[in-house]
Amino acid sequence: MNSKQLAFICLTGLFFMGCAEKEAPVRKKIVVSNTMDTNREFETVSIPIDSLDIDATDDKKGRIVIIDDATQKPILSQTIDSDGDGTDDMVLFQPEIKATSEMVFSVSSSDSTAATANDSVTRCYSRFVPERTDDYAWENDRVAFRTYGPTAQKMVEDDVKGGTLSSGIDAWLKRVDYPIINKWYKKELETDGSYHEDDGEGLDSFHVGSSRGVGGIASKDGDTYSISKNFTAWKRLYNGPIRTSFILTYADWDAAGKQISEEKHISLDYGSNLSKFEISIKGTDTISAGLALHENEGTIGVGGEEGWISYWEPHFDSEIGTGIVVPNGHMLGHEKYETEETDRSNLYAHIKLNEDGKAVYYAGFGWKKSAQFMNRTEWENYLEAFSEKLKNPLVVEMR
The model's confidence at residue 242, banded by pLDDT at 50, 70 and 90, is very high
What pLDDT is recorded for position 304?
87
Pick the CATH number of 125-395 from 2.70.98, 2.40.50, 1.10.3470, 1.20.1300: 2.70.98
Quick: pLDDT tens for 2-48: 544 444 334 444 434 444 444 445 467 999 999 999 999 999 999 99
In whole angstroms, give the CA distance from residue 367 to residue 317: 11
Q: Where are the domains of the chain?
A: 24-120, 125-395
Q: Is the pLDDT of residue 323 over 50?
A: yes
CA distance 307 to 330: 8
Mean of the pLDDT values across residues 232-259? 97
Helices (H), the chain: 3-23, 113-120, 150-157, 181-190, 376-391
Round to whole Å and give the CA distance between 174 and 366.
Answer: 10
pLDDT of residue 122: 87
Give the rounded distance of the alpha carbon of 284 from its chain centre. 25
Comparing C-alpha atoms, which of 208, 236, 136, 139 is closest to residue 180?
139
Q: What is the pLDDT of residues 274-291, one digit of tens each?
A: 999 999 999 999 999 999
Tell me how far apart the alpha carbons of residues 374 and 369 are, in angstroms, rounded to a whole number. Answer: 8
pLDDT digits (tens, 9 = 90+) for 78-127: 999 998 899 999 999 999 999 999 999 999 876 654 544 555 668 999 99
Beta strands (DSSP E) in 191-273 are 202-203, 214-221, 224-226, 231-238, 243-255, 258-269
Mean pLDDT of the chain: 91
- Looking at the domain that runs over 24-120, which CATH code has it been given? 2.60.40.1180
Summarize the confidence of residues 246-258 as an average pLDDT.
Answer: 97
Enter the DSSP assignment of 333: E
Choice among 18-22, 113-117, 148-152, 358-362 with the minimum mean pLDDT: 18-22
Q: Does the pLDDT value for residue 184 go beyond 50?
A: yes
- Tell me the mean pLDDT in the region 145-173: 98
